[in-house]
């Protein structure tokens, strides 16, 4: 071994018992706060329909093609992201510095989890509130007041953030492939059914047609700026869990015969449906309550849905169940956020799995304290670009690091890795393969780069 080649860990054995478990684990990662909490509120902040259209285009032209590439990298590399990319780069005769692509993802995962856990903590906190009937018969202003007083108590937020972090690390330490598939298999369908119940309520009681118009027409297209387009693009990566190695790490446990492209397609379609249904359930309620504002930001889910639960029969039950499921959806995503970092520490021999879990848990928790305070004491403390700590953690990761990771993955798989190996490993042929390959090589990286540059100019000028 020379200095230029670091020792590579042994290859991961396939561990997902079937294609279905991989689909479920990947869906568990993809479907989370991004779909239910983030998508509705950023749609509201960016004017609705035009934003949704740009987001859907980003999913099609960059999200799905890059997701296929990322799963492929994991499946072929058979290691944690840092080493998977390094191994494939060396095999393809490229620089070992490609491992920095994996490292970028490790950092992004830590940063995302730091604030993701804070928001997941809100969902946990809403469980006892729902159960106690705090929202029964409440209107928009009452619900906003409850949310505001929740945010005003940093110690309470910190407690829930800590609990969520412990929950995440407990599963991570036990090993991701054990038990996770089972849980997701059962809980994801229940979450979906609950969203459909909410949708039914929104259709019956809310301003449903106004919401449809808001989400799918261009009435507010003027609200779409360069920054909005960047947010839509960043969210396409965020919601699919791509650009930072989460889905690559999961791909590395895939059985060799499992079909990558078809699986990715299924996951991406499910993920998009959950986001759209969440939007269609939330906005009718927002529009039916004169004191709720679609552009009210990160609290949107937490102020609007309790109004719906407060007004429906058995709302206490459904409301509690809903926030329980949102917490679980966040949980299955948070595990995948930290898996690349944990696997890297373990594979490189720097720590055992439990040690890696503890170290990273403490690190994410500590960075997350800044996000807890961003909603109260540090609210007006603006850092770079006028963002507070929470906003900056979100912006740097979702809108900068994930798209950057995505460009690099597209370039690596599209231009530098052996075309034959890619072709052999994929389950698509003929024109479909050629279409994917063309889009991955030329459309996705160029599109992402252009949006990134314009968006950043828009934000910092």
Within 10 angstroms of residue 1's Cβ, the number of other Cβ atoms is 7
Q: What is the footprint of ligand PHE within residues 76-115 (CB under 6 A)?
A: 112
Judged by beta carbon, residue 29 or residue 228, the one nearer ligand PHE is 29
Q: Which of 23, 24, 26, 30 binds ligand PHE (CB under 6 A)?
A: 30
Tokens 């039950």 locate to 317
CA angle 428, 430, 435 (to 5 degrees): 80
Q: With contact defined as beta carbons under 8 Å apart, do 309 and 130 qualify?
A: yes
60-85 burial: b if 16+ Cβ within 10 Å, else e: ebbbbbbbbbbbbbbbbbbbbbbbbb
Q: How far is the CB of 314 from ligand PHE (least distance, A)?
A: 28
Answer yes or no whether residue 260 interacts with ligand PHE by CB under 6 A: no
Judged by beta carbon, residue 37 or residue 389, the one nearer ligand PHE is 37
Q: How far is the CB of 391 from ligand PHE (least distance, A)?
A: 17
Q: What is the footprint of ligand PHE within residues 366-425 (CB under 6 A)?
A: none
Candidates 28-36, 123-131, 284-292, 372-380: pick the segment binding ligand PHE (CB under 6 A): 28-36
Q: With contact defined as beta carbons under 8 Å apart, do 368 and 147 qualify?
A: no
The full DSSP string for 76-115 is HH-S-HHHHHHHHHHHTT--GGGHHHHHHHHHHHHHHHHH
165's enclosing H/E stretch is helix 154-174
Output the CA–CA distances (angstroms, integers) from residue 272 to 39, 47, 55, 190, 276, in the order listed.
10, 19, 10, 17, 6
- Cα–Cα dist 304/281, whole Å: 10
Judged by beta carbon, residue 76 or residue 241, the one nearer ligand PHE is 241
Q: How far is the CB of 338 from ligand PHE (least distance, A)?
A: 9
Judged by beta carbon, residue 289 or residue 336, the one nearer ligand PHE is 336
Q: Which of 46, 177, 272, 333 binds ligand PHE (CB under 6 A)?
A: 333
Distance from chain centroid for Cα 372: 19
Q: How far is the CB of 460 from ligand PHE (least distance, A)?
A: 24
Q: What is the footprint of ligand PHE within residues 211-250 (CB under 6 A)?
A: 238-239, 241, 244, 246
Candidates 66-74, 210-218, 252-260, 333-341: pick the segment binding ligand PHE (CB under 6 A): 333-341
Candidates 13-21, 30-38, 128-136, 163-171: pick the segment binding ligand PHE (CB under 6 A): 30-38
The CB-nearest residue to ligand PHE is 34
Candidates 33-41, 45-53, 86-94, 217-225: pick the segment binding ligand PHE (CB under 6 A): 33-41
User: Applying CB under 6 A, what is the total number of residues that bind ligand PHE?
Assistant: 15
Within 10 angstroms of residue 366's Cβ, the number of other Cβ atoms is 11
Q: Which of 21, 27, 35, 444 binds ligand PHE (CB under 6 A)?
A: 35
- Cα–Cα dist 87/19, whole Å: 24
Judged by beta carbon, residue 251 or residue 310, the one nearer ligand PHE is 251
Judged by beta carbon, residue 101 or residue 422, the one nearer ligand PHE is 101
Q: How far is the CB of 189 from ligand PHE (least distance, A)?
A: 18
Q: Which of 12, 21, 27, 29 binds ligand PHE (CB under 6 A)?
A: 29
- Cα–Cα dist 78/94, whole Å: 18
Distance from chain centroid for Cα 96: 28
- Cα–Cα dist 361/110, whole Å: 9
Q: What is the footprint of ligand PHE within residues 144-203 (CB under 6 A)?
A: none
Sign for the CA dihedral angle at 83, 365, 371, 300 comes to positive
> Which positions touch ligand PHE (CB under 6 A)?
29-30, 32-35, 112, 238-239, 241, 244, 246, 333, 336-337
């Amino acid at each position: 071994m020379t200095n230029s080649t670091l020792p590579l860990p042994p290859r991961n054995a396939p561990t997902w018992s079937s294609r279905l478990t991989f689909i479920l684990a990947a869906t568990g990662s993809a479907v989370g706060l991004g779909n239910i909490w983030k998508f509705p509120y950023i749609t509201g902040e960016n004017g609705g329909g035009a934003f949704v259209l740009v987001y859907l285009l980003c999913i099609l032209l960059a999200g799905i093609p890059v997701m296929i590439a990322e799963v492929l990298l994991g499946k072929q590399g058979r290691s944690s992201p840092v080493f998977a990319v390094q191994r494939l780069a060396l095999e393809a005769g490229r620089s070992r510095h490609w491992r920095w692509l994996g490292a970028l993802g490790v950092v992004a995962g830590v940063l995302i989890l730091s604030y993701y856990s804070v928001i997941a903590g809100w969902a946990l906190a809403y469980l006892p509130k729902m159960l106690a009937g705090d929202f029964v018969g409440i209107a928009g202003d009452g619900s906003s007041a409850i949310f505001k007083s929740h945010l005003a108590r940093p110690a309470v937020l910190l407690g829930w953030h800590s609990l969520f972090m412990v929950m995440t690390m407990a599963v991570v330490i036990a090993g991701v492939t054990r038990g996770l598939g089972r849980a997701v298999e059962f809980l994801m369908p229940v979450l979906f059914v609950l969203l459909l119940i909410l949708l039914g309520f929104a259709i019956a009681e809310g301003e449903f047609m106004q919401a449809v118009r808001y989400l799918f027409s261009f009435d507010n297209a003027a609200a779409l700026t360069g920054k909005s387009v960047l947010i839509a693009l960043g969210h396409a990566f965020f919601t699919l869990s791509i650009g930072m190695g989460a889905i690559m790490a999961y791909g590395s446990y895939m059985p060799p015969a499992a079909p990558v492209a078809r699986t990715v397609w299924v996951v991406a379609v499910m993920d998009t449906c959950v986001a759209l249904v969440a939007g269609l359930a939330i906005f009718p309620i927002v529009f039916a309550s004169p004191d709720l504002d679609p552009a009210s930001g990160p609290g949107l889910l937490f102020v609007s849905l309790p109004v719906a639960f407060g007004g429906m029969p058995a709302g206490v039950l459904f409301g509690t169940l809903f926030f329980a499921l949102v917490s679980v959806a966040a949980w299955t995503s948070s595990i995948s956020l930290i898996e690349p970092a944990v696997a890297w520490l373990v594979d490189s021999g720097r720590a055992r799995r439990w040690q890696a879990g503890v170290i990273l848990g403490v690190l994410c928790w500590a960075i997350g304290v800044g996000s807890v305070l961003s909603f109260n004491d540090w609210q007006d403390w603006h850092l770079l670009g006028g963002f507070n700590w929470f906003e900056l953690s979100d912006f740097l990761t979702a809108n900068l690091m994930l798209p950057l990771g995505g460009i690099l993955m597209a370039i690596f798989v599209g231009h530098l890795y052996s075309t034959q190996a890619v072709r052999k490993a994929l389950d698509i042929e003929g024109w479909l393969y050629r279409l994917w390959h063309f889009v991955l090589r030329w459309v996705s990286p160029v599109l992402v780069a252009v949006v990134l540059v314009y968006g950043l100019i828009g934000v910092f000028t």
